[in-house]
A = this chain, B = another copy of it.
Amino acid sequence: MTSSAPLSARAVATRQRILDAALVEFAAKGLAGARVDEIAARAGTNKRMLYAYFGAKEALWLTALEAAYAAKRAEEEDLDVAHLPPRAAMARLVAFNLRYTARHPEFVALLNQENLHQAVYLRRSLDVPALYSPLTDMLRDVLARGAEQGQFRADVDALQLYLSIVALGHFTVANRHTLSAIFGQDLGSEAALAAREAHAVEMVLGYLRP
């Protein structure tokens, strides 16, 4: 069990390096395939300290997962679309989400792994509200404003649309290796991402057309 006393600056730095290294190793190898020695080595520290701070491999996994959710939430909170007209705001939300997953394939990998675990670790998280995406509230607001102004249909299920927006971004990142093996194209290039983003935005806006 980790100490609950406040950590010194040096201790905080070591802990953070372990967490960063864990993110890389868990994203590349999954929980079962990740190696504790490898994480410690990548962090420039040792197993002793890893166990001192995190207690167990599984506890490190959950902390890394929570940190990944928190990082996404923080970027979402910086997203301000309230001042944009509805269509531009919606395009912004779709593009943000697609680009976020493209920039953070490790987040996508962790989600996939946690679903393999049937979200067993996530359910042990004590901070579930922190996992909730502010995107859903922004989406509701933009949908309401769009409908009021006659730019969007009024009968949209916000949860369904949220799932679709996230799906459009998530899927190609999650499957980029098998898709590349089959279609022989690099889906991670800037050109491919730009095409993907344009398509996703058009798809969502096409759906919302009254």
- Chain A positions within 8 Å of B, measured between CB atoms, are 28-33, 109, 111-119, 122-123, 128, 131-133, 157, 159-161, 163-164, 166-168, 170-172, 174-183, 185, 195-196, 199-200, 202-204, 206-209
Contacts and interface: CB of A to CB of B under 8 A. Distances in A.
B167 A172 contact: yes
5 residue pairs, one from A and one from B, having the closest CB atoms: A167-B171, A32-B33, A119-B177, A206-B207, A160-B199
Contacts of A122: 177-178, 181-182
A180 B203 CA distance: 26
Nearest to A206: B207
Contact of A118 (B163, B177, B196): B177
A174 B178 CA distance: 15
